[in-house]
A and B are shown apart, each in its own frame.
Chain A
Amino acid sequence: MSRIQKVSLLAVIAASSVSLLAVQAAMAQDSPIDKVSTVTDDMLLNPPDGDWLMWRRTYDGWGYSPLDQINKGNVGQLQLAWSWAMTPGGRTQETPLVHDGIIYIQNSTHLIQALDGATGDLIWEYQYSLPDGVPPNGERSKAIYGDTLIVATRDAHIIALDTKTGKLVWDQQVADVKKGWGYSSGPIVANGVIIQGMTSCGNAQPGGCFYTGHDAKTGAELWRLYTIARGDTPEGNSWNGIPLESRHGGSAWITGSYDPDQNLVFAGVGQPYPWPAVLNGLLPKSADPNVTNDALYTNSTLAIDPTTGDLKWYHQYLATDTLDLDYVYERLLIDLPVDGQDTRTVVTTGKLGIIEAVDRTSGEWLWAKETVPQNVVASIDPETGVKTINPEVIPEIGKSTFNCPADPGGRAWQATAYSPRTQALYLPTVEFCSNTTVQPLDPGTIYTGGGRATFARVPVPDSDGNIGQVRAVRLTDLSDMWMYRQHAPVTSSTLPTAGGVVFVGTLDRHFLALDDETGAVLWTSPRLTNSLESFPVTYTANGKQYVAVVANWASGLGRLASLTPDVKLPPNNPAALYVFALPD
């Protein structure tokens, strides 16, 4: 151990001792943690307005808050209530959860903490120990169920902590991190079952990723649904004739949504891997008439029975993806008029920035709406949604191709949100393109170059320099309501509220409040410590509304550094939770 490490360790021990004493002293007084109630199934179905109990707050995935203390009329008075430094250096992409005024966060190091949502005081913390060689990065989401906080880890474990004490209740290993498996998002709890998607299913794990269902009391695995189709079925024969051991990808890296009326979870699946189809076995297309190269269930919505793990239906948005253009992101369950009929839809937007709706009772495709400039999809079948791909963008060996959007997508993991107030979907989008080259990225024997293509990202032709946007699209008629544009990418999810504001964070370290009907900027925070690449939430504590967001460079749209070199971020990648409120 180096001298620096020894000194650091002693400092940590000393600080921890002081911290523990302080926490114990605080606990001896009347602590808000004592009032934390058990999270029931009914509570998850109808969360209290002031809570944020799951990734997108409600089962329908809207990411919308019914709180309105902070509204268009007063949001300009918003000020910092408190802040909390998180462990620097890793990537968080954090969604704080809030229950009964307690805010739960996960640091990149997997230090999980409970804070008083009104004051920012630390109540408890639990350090999960990641094995050597696993980079400390956070998880986008977690879940609360019963008396436990349920957290996924980067080494493919799911753990449950007591919400009041932070003590470990159970720890379930789901896969072998040595083969690359790990989690980057947490679970959803549906009908009493924990549903968790596996990610990082690359070179070392033939057969791809999977969703698993777990017993909420023990973590025991109840079922496993593979995201790469297998067997002698039309779906299993959609991999161009290559064997299971050659099929890679299908990462399930975003938390799903839940429709209690149907007892179905709707969850996305990522792309085949490596990206260029000429390298992942999907091209050249087999002459065998019994096989296709659609690569199911990549880039699909899966409708999963959470109790059994049965796949009820699927819809694939983009077959034979060869450009890393996932359709994996959040699924919003919205009842919308379609052809004059009220229709129960599931709405999602892939990296192409095309909003698409599917009937969530049948999987029938309904409609699509383009947003960002794109040249990948030449046309969409108006009946089936099947896309015709522009052949000019398909990567070829020995030739650079030009595609829009670039690989991070016209929208990335930053979630869209829906407001019933305006019936609008709020999308954080970016405009950029890529010169794409199939690249022999085998630099080492162990160390590889990832997806086997390089993407040189460039502005869209005739760009006005405003790479970042927030778009508002009214879903009842698919009309464009407004678009907010700025140079630096919008790097957080959108947070619409009943107060008529939409909160977003940016790469250049601002937190903004926009008018949900016009897009006008109503409030801008001072510059914070880092880019805001996370999922903002709002909640109440002691009856007062707060808005919380984590500042951290998290490799989301901050990766556009080549397009926005003027946006400088601190080198040590600090992370902090900022909580804003109106003055008392």
Chain B
Amino acid sequence: MPRSPAPSRLSGLAAAWLLAVPMAAAGLGPAAAQEPEFYDVPYAYEQWIYGRRLDESQLRYCVDRRDPDWEVAGAIADAIAQALLLEPQRHVVETEIVVEDITRVYGVMLEHCDVHMGFKLIPEGYGDWAALTRAYYETGYVFVTTNPDLKSLADLAPGRPIGATGGTSAHIRLMAYLLAQSPDRRWPVYPMGTNDLALDSLLRGTVAVALVWAPSLWARQRADPALAALREIDPRPLPPTRMGVGALILANETFLRAAIDEAIGALAADGTIAGILDGYHFPAKAAP
């Protein structure tokens, strides 16, 4: 018996795939968790028990206490409800689970809310079941250090590690930059599971710089004044990674989305959102 039959179907397929690359990208959905569970449409347990709600005088919105901006987002949602002449109905998601797949939001929304605050406007970042409102504020990812000698990322010596919150837009931008550099000019990048873990690795000295979501840094410092020494540095030679943050709604709620977009526009224009952000000293600007 031959010990290793040579792969037999590679050559034909190699030619064929060139033809297939432009094929339709149908079914583009949210990526799966580590254990493969692949959805074209998210599924919520006992989703059939949630019928059409009857009280249209309320704006039912969710904020998640695990989100660093949940209080700010709640204040903005209240303002949106007021602008729409609706009664705000806040549901605070309370759980201690650290990280969850985006598809879990589907079940939360079926049960509790029409609008879930606190999602980044990422092109192609959501499945067909979800839609984002316009952004109500803009913020970004920041490079953070405890080293007083570092003024910008450019001051970091090659070979010194960066702890990046893994898989984020800023992480991807950083990796794209590094891959364009020669190996001797690169910083090692250690992917960290969460913003908090990236900050912890910085505090432990595992990394020289952490790349984290600015609201997460704000929330951490707000909760622990001893972390005031954590200092944001200029991202150069990289450009800043700034992103709009809006609310997630179910894709079929087109009328609601249009109404909320209009309300956000009005609240941005009259300075309401900027006032809320300033009130919390929150590291964001009202979206234009």
Contacts and interface: CB of A to CB of B under 8 A. Distances in A.
Contacts of A204: 98-99, 193-194, 197
Interface in B166-200: 166-169, 171-172, 175-176, 178-179, 183-184, 186, 188-195, 197
A272 to B, nearest CB: 10
Given A241-B188, A450-B101, A461 B172 contact: no
A251 interface: yes
Interface residues of B, number: 95
Interface string A201-231: 1111110000000000000000000000000
Contact of A559 (B39, B95, B195): B39
A375 B168 contact: no
Interface string A271-283: 1011000111100
Contacts of B191: 242, 246, 248, 274, 279-281
Interface in A262-308: 270-271, 273-274, 278-281, 284, 286-287
B12 to A, nearest CB: 8
A90 B45 CA distance: 6
Contacts of B168: 440, 442
Interface stretch (A128-136, A421-429, A482-490, A507-515): A128-136
Contacts, number: 315
B206 A449 contact: no
Interface in A66-119: 88-91
Contact of B9 (A180, A202, A373, A440): A373
Contacts of A337: 1
Contacts of A433: 17, 20
A398 B176 contact: yes
Residue from B45, B48, B193 having most chain A Cβ neighbours under 10 A: B193
A572 B47 CA distance: 7
A457 B27 contact: yes
Interface stretch (B78-86, B114-122, B255-263): B114-122
Interface stretch (A164-172, A376-384, A576-584): A376-384
A230 to B, nearest CB: 15
Interface string A429-459: 0000101011111111111111111111110
A461 B16 contact: yes
Interface string A475-499: 0111000000000000000000000
B179 A284 contact: yes
Contacts of A249: 34
B234 interface: no
- The B interface, classified by DSSP as helix, strand, loop or mixed, is loop
B186 A439 contact: no
Contacts of B248: 443
Nearest to B219: A445
B155 interface: no
Contacts of B194: 203-204
A273 B130 CA distance: 25
Contacts of A281: 189-191
B225 interface: no
B31 A439 contact: yes
A442 B120 contact: yes
B133 interface: no
Given A203-B166, A280-B166, A572-B48, A461 B19 contact: yes
B14 interface: yes
B21 A400 contact: yes
Residue from B28, B36, B37 having most chain A Cβ neighbours under 10 A: B36
Given A337-B1, A439-B124, A445-B216, A273 B34 contact: yes
B125 A441 contact: yes
B39 A555 contact: yes
B229 interface: no
Contacts of A457: 27
Contact of A378 (B10, B39, B124, B216): B10
Interface in B97-123: 97-102, 104-105, 107, 118-120, 122
Interface string B69-81: 1000000000000
A201 B99 CA distance: 11
Given A379-B6, A444-B102, A447-B100, A435 B21 contact: yes
A320 interface: no
A284 B5 contact: no
A246 B190 contact: yes
Contact of B20 (A8, A374, A461): A461
Interface stretch (A19-27, A143-151, A361-369): A361-369
B226 interface: no
A201 B34 CA distance: 7
B220 to A, nearest CB: 12
A559 B40 contact: yes
Given A287-B183, A440-B168, A448 B178 contact: no
Interface stretch (A35-43, A52-60, A402-410, A538-546): A402-410
10 contacts: A284-B186, A370-B9, A397-B172, A404-B17, A441-B31, A449-B101, A454-B28, A460-B20, A561-B27, A571-B48
Question: Which A-B residue pairs are the 3 nearest by beta carbons?
Answer: A562-B27, A461-B16, A559-B38
Given A271-B34, A439-B124, A442-B169, 10 more contacts: A200-B33, A243-B201, A245-B197, A326-B36, A375-B17, A407-B38, A440-B171, A449-B101, A452-B31, A452-B167
Interface of B: 1-10, 13-14, 16-17, 19-21, 23-41, 43, 45-49, 64, 66-69, 95-102, 104-105, 107, 118-120, 122, 124-126, 163, 165-169, 171-172, 175-176, 178-179, 183-184, 186, 188-195, 197, 201, 206, 213, 215-216, 248
